[in-house]
Amino acid sequence: MPSDSLCFEANHLSRAFGHGRRRRLAVNDATFTIREREIVSLVGQSGCGKTVLAKMLLRLEKPTSGQLLFRGRPIDAAADPREHWRQVQAVFQDPYAAFNQFFSIRSQLKAAFHLFPQRPSEREMEERVDQALLAVNIRPPDIEGKYPFELSGGQMQRMLLARIFILRPQVLIADEPTSMVDACSRAGILEYLMKLKEELQMTIVFVTHDIGLAYYVSDRIFILHEGQIVEQGTPDAVTQSPTSPVTRQLLDDIPSLHREWIGRAPRA
Ligand SMILES: Nc1ncnc2c1ncn2[C@@H]1O[C@H](COP(=O)(O)OP(=O)(O)OP(=O)(O)O)[C@@H](O)[C@H]1O
Ligand SMILES: [Mg+2]
């Protein structure tokens, strides 16, 4: 897949909730493209529409109006949404919601293989689960026989990443994947995501409140405000010469830890 071809193309994309006077546009007239192998961050304050937009890219939420293409075809072109999910996978804010509390972690990691029409042998599945756990720095015996409620939020987020490692999607939608971990594990998870991107040549849509984090990981940043994309550009353009007051506010709100990243400009 050449890196200059388009992964997503959205034209005047909107998603409304509610009726009559209660009708609200969670995503309002968004027009953008995301190229193959690009990392794009969606940045904005709570409630600005990041998750709703991410869910439309995942085909979990239907646009109310506008057009959304995935690799040149309408996103719902295939009748079976699983066809989309084989290519596009997600890591969500709340890892507990993504796992069933009543099944062991290991059995659920193995269940990831159900998405594929052809499942590997039992032995190969077990091996690939072990590899995925090691890849996120979890020793397989440490989760043996354990259930989601027995792990911490940070460990569960690692389980979501392990699941991604098993599925090896071409596109990853990561919605605040580090919201439940401390600063140190956060750096680890981000590093791991970047490693995964290199290894799997993935396209990543990264959702965050934190423009400093976005600066660090992205090729381009979209700034959202009240459902609209108010600014989009390279991390340098968006942080050095922001055109929207919303962007300036977000820059003022960066945790001081991440401010250093922008000052030091560590990007290649
Ligand atoms: N299923 C729904 N029904 C009604 N309103 C919804 C629904 N999902 C989202 N919304 C509304 O759409 C708007 C955008 O929500 P969204 O979850 O995308 O915000 P967000 O940017 O992801 O916020 P956060 O940073 O807190 O996760 C909010 O006003 C929210 O209340
Ligand atoms: Mg959200």
d(CA 6, CA 69): 9
User: Tens-digit pLDDT profile for the chain (268 aa)?
Assistant: 555 699 999 999 999 999 999 999 999 999 999 999 999 999 999 999 999 999 999 999 999 999 999 999 999 999 999 899 989 998 877 777 788 889 999 999 999 888 888 888 999 999 999 999 988 888 999 999 999 999 988 788 888 889 988 888 999 999 876 666 666 667 777 777 788 788 888 999 999 988 888 998 899 999 999 999 999 999 999 999 999 999 999 998 876 656 666 665 444 4
Closest CA relative to residue 1, chosen from 187, 211, 125, 170:
170
| CATH of residue 50 | 3.40.50.300
Return the residue whose CA atom lies nearest to atom 25 of ligand 1. Answer: 46
C-alpha 65 – ligand 1 centre gap (Å): 17
Residue 56 has what pLDDT? Answer: 98
Nearest-atom number in ligand 1 for the CA of 53 is 18
Residue 181 has what pLDDT? Answer: 64
C-alpha 46 – ligand 1 centre gap (Å): 8
Q: Is residue 160 part of a domain?
A: yes
Q: Is residue 80 part of a domain?
A: yes
- Whether the CB of 48 sits within 6 Å of ligand 1: yes
Q: Is residue 252 part of a domain?
A: yes
Residue 183 has what pLDDT? Answer: 65
Domain that residue 22 falls in: 6-264
Return the residue whose CA atom lies nearest to atom 10 of ligand 1. Answer: 26
d(CA 91, CA 87): 14
The dihedral through the CA atoms of 221, 224, 227, 229 has a sign that is negative
Q: Is residue 1 part of a domain?
A: no
Q: Is residue 176 part of a domain?
A: yes
Q: Please give the distance of CA 9 from its chain centroid, rounded to a whole number.
A: 17
Question: What is the number of the ligand closest to the CA of 45?
Answer: 1
Q: What is the pTM of this model?
A: 0.86
Return the residue whose CA atom lies nearest to atom 19 of ligand 1. Answer: 47
Q: Is residue 244 part of a domain?
A: yes
Return the residue whose CA atom lies nearest to atom 30 of ligand 1. Answer: 47
Q: Is residue 20 part of a domain?
A: yes
Q: Is residue 72 part of a domain?
A: yes
CA distance to 91, 146, 178, 188, per residue, from 184 (Å): 19, 24, 10, 7
When divided into structural domains, the chain yields a total of 1
